[in-house]
Structure formats: C-alpha cells, structure tokens
Structure 1
Amino acid sequence: MSNPSYFYISIAIVILCIVWTIPDSKQIDADTEICLQHENKIMKCGETISVLHDVFEKAILSAYAAAEKQEKNQTEKYIQDALKHDVQLMTDYKNTLWDMKPSAKLVGNREQQKHVSGNAAMTTVTCWRHDKDLYYTTGFQRYGIRFQNGRLIVPVSGTYHIYSFLGLTERGVTDEGIPVKSNNTQEIIHTMHKYNVLDTADIEIASNVQSRKNASRGNFNYYTSQIVTLVKLRAGDEISVRINDEALLQHTENNYFGLHLI
C-alpha cells in the first residue's frame, strides 16, 4: 500500500492548484474568507480555514478508501496466485486457515530406552517415534511442530492442550517365584516440562506421582501414568516428558505424548 504521507502532499498540491486556477472563484476577503465552486457547480463561501478543512477531509477520506480497496485487491490476488502454485493449500484458504493449528502425537518406539540401573534422577524420555516414523501409526506431526532430543517444539504462541501416557513395567517375581528385592523404593514420578532458550532452566508444567506396589499380575508389577492439562506456551517452547526411573520403560510401544493448539 502507498505511503499515507504521499496522499497528504498530493492532495495539498491539487487543492492549491484548484484554488489558484478556478476562474469563477470570487475572493471576498483574502485574509479570512474564500469561495470555491463544488462539483454541483454551486459556489460556497466561508472562512478560508473552514472551507479548506472540509475539502481536505473529503479528499483524504477518498484517498484512504482507494488505498484500502487497492490493498484488498492485492491480498486477494496474492492468495489466488499462491493457490495456483502450492497444491498443499486448500481451495478455501481463508476459511481453513484457523483449522491449521499446530498439533502432534508421538508414539513410543519398540526400542527400550537406555538406562542406568538404580538411577533415580529425573530423566527425559526419548524413546518416541517421530516425523516419518509416524507413518502407518496413530501418531502425527502437523503445521510446524518439530521434534528434537525427545522434545516437541511449538512454532506459535498460544494455549495448548498437552498430554502424556506411560505404561510402566517392573520385575516383581523371578521365574522361580522368588520376590525380587528392588533397590529403588522411591515413588514413581512422571512429569512434563517446558524449556525455552530465553529461560534459565526447565520448568515443570504438571506431574503424576504414585507409590510402588507388589506384583499383581504374574511376575511383574504394572503401572500406568497419565498427564493431561492446558498450558500457555510461547513460540520456541520445548515440551518434554520425564520420569525418575528409566528402568520402568521396558515396553514403550503403547506410550504416547502430544499437544495441540486450542
């Protein structure tokens, strides 16, 4: 769109030329009053400042209306050109724009996460299938969501629905039926964190804590842990899942982790 100051200058020049060249203009008092002929051929006289102010106001409104119309036409032309050259854009671009919200659902891969026995520190879960590995699964990554080092990175700021599910397994009884004495008696802590390069440390968003139990099915203890919440995120925030005992991640293919902009 043209610079608005250009219109002011152009209008001022045009008006001055009109005032100087109109043959039918009758000067009543050059210092205080002026007469101008309007489009309907009617002469209008009045205070110089007031008359010129009305002329300027009408001319400016007309100029801005023309500029707004030109910008609208250029925008529509841009969209039409984009639709011709980008087959991924849907035909009704304007109506579907708000449906193109960033979203992702990662699913666990079949490989066990490498862990250190007895490690009770909070560790990021990294055993996720992502990007092209999500083909032919229930998972997906759409509209700008990226994955890096076990984290989902959001492309735009907004309120997000985030969630995580972990199925956890712990050996409780040996094949001979002898109870396994666990060296780790701590509670199971499952958390979701966010990190941004502008922050100094990871920030915990939500958590789920549960105590350990004795074997309830066969030779293993089975646990499930789920987190679902809403959180306001900034563009560039990295969302991750953490657990305080990696050894519980024996069977990860049923796990999932995701988010979407609401």
Structure 2
Amino acid sequence: MHTSNMTDILLKRLTIVSVLLLLIVLITVLCIVWTMPDSKQIDANTNICLKNNNNNVQCGETIELLHALFEKKILSAYIEAETREKNQTKIYIEDSLKHNVQLMSDYKNTLWDMKPSAKLVGIHEKQDHISGNHSMTTVTCWRHDKDLFYTTGFQRYGIRFQNGRLIVPVSGTYYIYSFLGLTERRLTDDGIPVESNNMHEIKHAMHKYNVLDTVAMEIASNLQSRKNASEGYFNYYTSQIATLAKLRAGDEISVKLSDVTLLKYTGNNYFGLHLI
C-alpha cells in the first residue's frame, strides 16, 4: 500500500509539472503574438517589395519601384560604358606614345576631324497628307546613305538615318540646319486662279526624340504667312533654320512641316548636323 501511495503522489506531481510547463509555453506564445508589430497586407498585383543596397526592404507600388530601379540600372550602365570607353582610349593613347610618337601625333591631329556629321539632300517623293490636316508632319523625302554618292550630301562617323530622322551617335553640342523650298500652285495652265483651301501659316520646325523620352521636343522653328505672287503660275516660299543644340547619344533629329503638299520640287532642299 505504501508503494502504491508513493506512485500516485509521483504521478500527481508529474501531472502538475506538465500542466505548469504547458501553461508557461502558451503564455510565452501569446506574449510573442501580442508584441509582434502589425504587418500590412501587400497586394501582389499592385505592390512589390524590393531589397535595396543597404539590405533594407522597401515596399511600394510595383510600377513606381520598377521604374526607379530600371532608371538607376540604365544610368549605371551608361556611366560604366562611358568610363570604360574613356579608360580604353587613355590606355591606347599612352601605349601609342610609348611606341610611336609620330604615329600618335598624326592620330591626335586627325581625331578632331572625325566628328559625326551629315547633310541630306532632297529627293522627289510624294508624302501622305490629309487635306485640312494642319498637324506637323515629318519630312521623309531625303537622299541618304549610298544615295548621297555624286551629290553634295554626306553621312560620316556614325550618323545613321531612319524614317526621315538622323540619329546622333555621341553626346555633345551640334550645329543643326534645314532648308526647304515650298511651291504652291497659283494659276492653272489656262491662267485661271487656283483657290487655295489652306490659308493657315506655314510652320517649318526641327524636332528631337529619344527612346528615353515620351514625346518629341521642338528645337527650333520658322513661321511665315502665305503670300500671293503678282506674276507666274506658282507661289514660292523658302524657309531656313540653323541653330546650336545640346544632344544626347541616341537622339533622333527630324524636320517637320505643317503642309507637306508644298513639297513639290525638293531637289534644292537639305537637312543636316555636325558636332562642334
């Protein structure tokens, strides 16, 4: 009997200890849960969390955070490429100086002449134009690349042409220019006056566009009113633009006109730029 009583006492004590331990664990878990900060629910469709350079997590709208990240990465890539190019050029120049001073002198003298430049000349090409549409239209009737052979035009040192635009290869200050000769019928072959349906002013402008920008930007423009010649079968207008502009690599330069139906005789037209 004595042994049985001892066993019961031990079991009771173990039961009490187990209950106490369980209570302690439950109280600890409840304390941890109560002291935890409230966590804000993140909508995975419109929000995202990214880790920054300091290993801190930043949460916000997906579009804004990704846009900022891409801009940062693109800027970093540009800086890295520019630095690498400068270092390679410096190493090349220093190496050339060690081995051939005369060769290096000739290189430095010709380097200043190797500036991106281009001059496009006009070619007869009918452009689509809706009657009554006075919005600015890109002039695309230009001879370019191999078509410039045996003309006064040229493309040198990295300047490319695409869809009526000249694409700048390196950043810098450029002299840009454009000349347009515009012709409007005044009399028919029988000498009968032609009534013009378009009396709006003529706007001739130069624009730049870059894939990093959202819209094209006007660099310079020329605005003139229409006139009626006292003689001849045609009204003839001339418009010229010339200015300096700071351009980035990849900028696309174009000529725009408010009424491309005036581009009937384009042989004397030209459009170009060069790095100064």
Common fold, TM-score beyond 0.5? yes
Task: State the AA in 2 paired with 1:261.
Answer: L
Decide whether the 8 Å contact of 2:171 with 2:247 is kept in 1. Answer: yes
* Structure 2 residue aligned with 1:191: 205
Residue 228 of structure 1 pairs with residue 242 of structure 2: yes
* Structure 2 residue aligned with 1:151: 165
Decide whether the 8 Å contact of 1:190 with 1:209 is kept in 2. Answer: yes
Percent sequence identity is 76
Give the Å deviation of 1:195.
Answer: 0.4
- Measured against aligned partners, the alpha-carbon deviations of 1:71-128 in whole angstroms (never above 9, x if no partner) come to 6897218997xx9xxxxxx992222111100000000013333433333111000000
Distance 2:98 2:111 in 1: 15
Distance 2:110 2:229 in 1: 51
> 180, 188, 193: which is aligned to 1:174?
188
Give 3-state SS (helix, strand or coil) of 1:92's partner: helix
Distance 1:148 1:232 in 2: 20
* Structure 2 residue aligned with 1:252: 266
Give the Å deviation of 1:214.
Answer: 1.0
- Cα distance change of structure 1 residues 149 and 219 upon mapping to structure 2, 3 Å threshold: same
- Cα distance change of structure 1 residues 72 and 210 upon mapping to structure 2, 3 Å threshold: closer
Give 3-state SS (helix, strand or coil) of 1:99's partner: coil
Paired residues, number: 184
Give the Å deviation of 1:252.
Answer: 0.8
> 76, 86, 109: which is aligned to 2:96?
76
Residue 98 of structure 1 pairs with residue 112 of structure 2: yes
Distance 1:207 1:73 in 2: 42
Task: State the AA in 2 paired with 1:93.
Answer: Y
Distance 2:99 2:275 in 1: 24
Distance 2:98 2:236 in 1: 56
- Measured against aligned partners, the alpha-carbon deviations of 1:37-69 in whole angstroms (never above 9, x if no partner) come to xxxxxxxxxxxxxxxxxxxxxxxxxxxxxxxxx
* Structure 2 residue aligned with 1:108: 122
Distance 1:244 1:207 in 2: 11
TM-score by length of 1: 0.66
Give the Å deviation of 1:198.
Answer: 0.9
> 107, 129, 132: which is aligned to 1:118?
132
Give 3-state SS (helix, strand or coil) of 2:161's partner: strand
- Cα distance change of structure 1 residues 214 and 99 upon mapping to structure 2, 3 Å threshold: same
Distance 1:182 1:73 in 2: 63
Give the Å deviation of 1:176.
Answer: 2.0
- Cα distance change of structure 1 residues 135 and 117 upon mapping to structure 2, 3 Å threshold: same
Unaligned runs of 5+ in 1: 1-70, 84-89
Q: What value does the CA root-mean-square deviation take over the aligned residues?
A: 2.2
Residue 141 of structure 1 pairs with residue 155 of structure 2: yes
Larger radius of gyration: 2
- Measured against aligned partners, the alpha-carbon deviations of 1:12-41 in whole angstroms (never above 9, x if no partner) come to xxxxxxxxxxxxxxxxxxxxxxxxxxxxxx
- Cα distance change of structure 1 residues 186 and 72 upon mapping to structure 2, 3 Å threshold: closer
Task: State the AA in 2 paired with 1:195.
Answer: Y
Unaligned runs of 5+ in 2: 1-90
Task: State the AA in 1 paired with 2:148.
Answer: L
